[in-house]
Amino acid sequence: MTSLTRLDLFCRVVDNYGDIGICWRLARQLQREHAIAVTLWVDDLASFRRICPGIDVQADTQMQAGVTVRHWCSMDGVFSVDDVADIVIEFFAVDIPPGYIAAMAQCQPRPVWFNLEGLTAEEWVEGCHGLSSTHPQLGLIKHFFFPGFTEKTGGLLVEAGLAEQRRAFQSDAAARTAFLAQLGLGPEQMAARLVSLFCYPHAPVAELLAAWQLDTTPTTCLVPEGVAADAVQAFLGTPAVAGACATRGALTLRVLPFVPQEDYDRLLWSCDLNFVRGEDSFVRAQWAGRPFVWHIYPQDEQLHHKKLRAFLQRYAAGLPDLSALSLQWNGAGSSAADWPALWAGFRTQMPAMQQRAEAWQQQMLALGDLASNLLRFAATPR
């Protein structure tokens, strides 16, 4: 295999910020840490701009953080062999333009082609990671690459030095205070139990907020604008716009603007507990070294509940209250849940969850990072 210096990454935005969040992190890491010339093809630039404010939604081609960003506005087009990168990644089985695939077949040597799959803790991925499939007409070989939680998978997406950056920030009280002040928090709100809330619209947010109102310890909940809008507006009694804030009982709820990815990491690092969703924020919560609750992307026939239980079996062993609240949060628990009791049990177990979060991070770092593992696989002769 000749030197692999160019990579094309194709992303279609399905879960508003999860798909592009993952692809944007991966693209930047490949460029910064491995000197790969990356082109990121994206169909939804408006969603992209929410996490990367520099994006020009009108531009067909632009440079952002050393990455070429192309607006994927057409299902097809005319491509030549010069347009094809050394490594081609389709994220989560998107359909690459047929003209691009035809050009891939004309390349010598042919590019390394990956389907980068979604993250799951299910055991079957260990047998599928790295498997190949041959295009029935063109003979191109596609490899299936699975992120995951064991040494038989591709590991998790994580930048070099992230753990050190996180520990430095969390040990610097002044840095945390300055960051939270930029988001509009005062000293009293910072001193409370700090929780970030990022979930899908069907989460039982109203029930959780009600439990926090009745708690004996003050809680400050930070919610990005547009998330759980109905429940948040009902709590506030005013439009759920960035900057809106209200206190009821022991709970203060503040609506935040969407922030760039680097600031979202700092938000997770600043909080005592993080509610996250999908895949991107789910992974970043694991690197935050804090207790978290995952709202998994819903699938037909409740398949997401199987995936949730597979993760909890790996992560939450010995933490029954984390499992109980997580299942209820995802609609996999009792139809008549006692949310104050669920929260009381969860709150009591949070110190043990903190210890688990730190140990889990070290366990995941030992697997290596997804980007390096993928490039190593691409460079291995087959």
> Catalytic site residues?
19, 279
Residue 127 CB contacts under 8 Å (≥ 6 apart), including other chains: none
Distances (CA, A) of 98 to 20, 77, 101, 156, 258: 22, 8, 5, 30, 35
From residue 33, how far is each of 28, 30, 38, 55, 329 by CA, in Å?
8, 6, 12, 22, 37
Cα separation, 223 vs 232, whole angstroms: 8
In the chain, which residue ranges form alpha helices assigned H by DSSP? 18-34, 45-51, 98-106, 125-128, 162-170, 173-182, 187-191, 205-213, 229-236, 261-270, 280-288, 303-315, 320-329, 339-365, 370-379
| Furthest C-alpha separation in the chain | 67
Q: How many H-runs (helices) and E-runs (strands) does the chain carry?
A: 15, 14
- 255 sits in which H/E element: strand 251-256
Residue 139 carries which DSSP code? Answer: -
Contacting residues for 347 by C-beta, under 8 A, at least 6 apart: 215, 217
Phi, psi of 55 (to 5 degrees): -65, 130
Residues 357-364: contacts with CB under 8 Å, at least 24 apart: 357/286, 357/288, 357/289, 357/290, 357/291, 357/292, 358/289, 360/286, 360/315, 361/163, 361/286, 361/287, 361/289, 364/149, 364/155, 364/156, 364/158, 364/286
